[in-house]
Amino acid sequence: MIENGDLILQYLERLGVEYVFGVPGGSIEPLYNALARSERNGGPKAILARHEAGAAFMADGYARATGKIGVCCATSGPGATNLITGVANAYADSVPLLVITAQPAIEKFGLGAFQEGSCTGISTVSMFESCTRFNTLVSHSAQLETKLLQAISYTQSNRPGPAHLSVPLDIMRAKTKIKDSSQILRAFINHEVVPSTEGTHLLLKYLATAGKVTIVLGEGCAGATNEILALAEARGWLLVTTPMGKGLVSDFHPLYRGVFGLGGHDSAREALLPENAEYVVVIGTALDEVTTGGWDTEAILSKRLIHISQNSEHLSRSTLAKACILGSPKLLVKPFSNMLKESPSRPKLEYLPGPDGFPPHVEYRDKDVCFANTSPVKPQALYWSLSQLCPPETHVLMDTGNSFLWGIHYWQSHNKPGVDEKLFHIGMGFASMGWAIGAAIGMAMGDKAPVICFTGDGSVLMSGQEMTVAKEHNLNILFVILNDSHLGMIKHGQRLGGAENIGNVLPDVDFAGMAKAMGLKSHRINRVSDLDDIKIDDIFKEDGPCVLDVIIDSEEVPPMGSRMKVLAGGGGTSE
């Protein structure tokens, strides 16, 4: 006989999950006892976050890095409610999480137990209802295995996202028989949706003779990028990415025209206009404000749209589309790309920079500022310089606010030809401040490649304590803090929108000193040339995290034009 907590961990181990991120407490103690036993036997181990939201962010980053389920847990009451923001962020971005929260013993429901979150009090299960794919209280020990398997199936479906199990103390501690589950998990593989024959024929009908086509790669193209590139290269079709899709293709690919949407490039919008695109093929993304440039009806949202995704929710807003095709992008494009990969019509392409070092076919704002060596630091110059100095395989995460606005526009992705790996990561669906700090930790734990995290001073003041987790586990993460003593996106949004100047000023903080106090290596950067003195290459070769406290010019306005048009009540155009 084993406890139910051990049963959960046996399934996680079979799924290849290495870590459970969380914060312990009284009601979830049996799961932590099981985690201690698991770790001693080489199974999943507990990672102690500093706040439950940080635990959910870490699980999110781990899932994005590995393709496995991210697992986070919390005790009852406030532990569970603290998780919700991180879980909602994963839900908005379709990230597979298994979320386990505790309850007092079920016989104590309604009696005012310590930190009770039952249906008779502050119902935490109800709170998770709208930010999970599956959400349930395990009310009897016999339910646990069945509901656990249901939760796993929802996280791994073609509409992935978080699943939540609320498990009372006595249920988690209850004994169960050791079972032979060697066949049970076969249901959780091969979830790619095969496109219908009709959908494939429809795609051929429109695209077989089309000359000018622009393909928009969303985050759902991960794993299918090589096939899509083979098709685009053979036909000479232009490539654009969404903000969430950035990093799937090298910025220096000769057919790439940049990012369309929030923080994007005018050249990307040009590639989508009728004179340059008979059809716009959007793959693997939802049509939300961020992706459509504030619902720009001249670019993506038109009758020229062909929308492809294996997530049916992505297609739900495509009311104007010429065709909506439900199916795996890889399975849909692979038959064509296999023929085209070795085709003599497919040109040999070189990923060459222009004479100024920039991608020659992407139009940037204020390009000259990228070479400034002023104090305080111009953010354009910081992003441009670090994208040249970091190893090409570096995973980069951008936090909510100015961090991701500057990153979407100025960071250069250097994907190698033939390597299908997403290197640029943002949490833009729910856009939680502090997400990147926790997610960078989860990503570094799940994927040992170097990681760089851009975050703002506001996010660090919310969630900077999680950097001590990176120190504890000796993770190779470079945290770059944009320090301008403001909530930058709020400040510039108020100015551009004619609003009152209120609630955007932060105190002057020595984040380099704060990092040292937490045991992290740190440097204060006052001008871009300081990066040469600290030798970025050496930082990525050393063990452990490092913090760059970068004093940023707070007067530089990030590319947020489409966002401002939406806030003003209009549609978006270019940035």
**pLDDT of res. 111:** 59
271 vs 255, 362, 414, CA distance in Å? 10, 10, 21
Beta-strand pair 279-283/305-309: parallel
Inter-axis angle of helices 78-92 and 52-66, nearest 10: 30
Rounded CA-CA distance 309/475 in Å is: 35
pTM: 0.94
Nearest alpha carbon to residue 270 among 283, 257, 279: 257
Alpha helices, DSSP H, located in 447-560: 457-463, 467-472, 488-497, 511-517, 530-534, 536-541
Amino acid identity at 195: P
Residue spans per domain, the chain = 2-176, 197-341, 367-567
Report residue 366 CA to chain centroid gap: 27
Q: What is the DSSP letter of 411?
A: P
- pLDDT averaged over consecutive 10-residue blocks of the chain (575 residues)? 94 95 95 97 97 98 96 95 97 97 81 66 90 96 94 91 96 85 64 87 89 95 91 92 95 96 95 96 93 89 94 90 92 76 68 90 94 96 95 93 95 84 90 96 90 97 97 97 94 88 95 97 97 91 94 92 60 49
Distance CA 501, CA 563 (A): 18
Please work out, in degrees rounded to the nearest 5, the angle formed at the alpha carbon of residue 36 by the alpha carbons of 34 and 40. 115
Q: What CATH number should be reported for the domain whose range is 2-176?
A: 3.40.50.970
In 3D space, the residue among 493, 561, 496, 574 whose CA is nearest the CA of residue 296 turns out to be 574
CATH, domain range 367-567: 3.40.50.970
Total number of residues shown for the chain: 575
Nearest CA-CA partner of 485 in 436, 552, 404? 552
User: pLDDT at position 341, please?
Assistant: 57
How is residue 260 annotated by DSSP? Answer: -
* The pairing of beta strand 2-3 with beta strand 175-176: antiparallel
What confidence score (pLDDT) does residue 420 get? 83
Question: Residue 561: its pLDDT value, please?
Answer: 66
Class of 197-341 in CATH: alpha beta
Residue 196 structure tokens: 């219908």
Cβ–Cβ < 8 Å for 101, 124: yes
| Contacts for 37 with CB less than 8 Å, ≥ 6 apart | 6, 9
Return the SS3 of 106. Answer: helix
φ and ψ of 70, to 5 deg? -85, 135
Q: Which of 277, 312, 305 is nearest to 291 (CA)?
A: 305
Query: Which pLDDT score is estimated for 574?
Result: 44
**β partners of residue 303:** none
Do 197-341 and 367-567 come out as alike in CATH topology? yes
In angstroms, how far is the first alpha carbon of the chain from the final one? 62
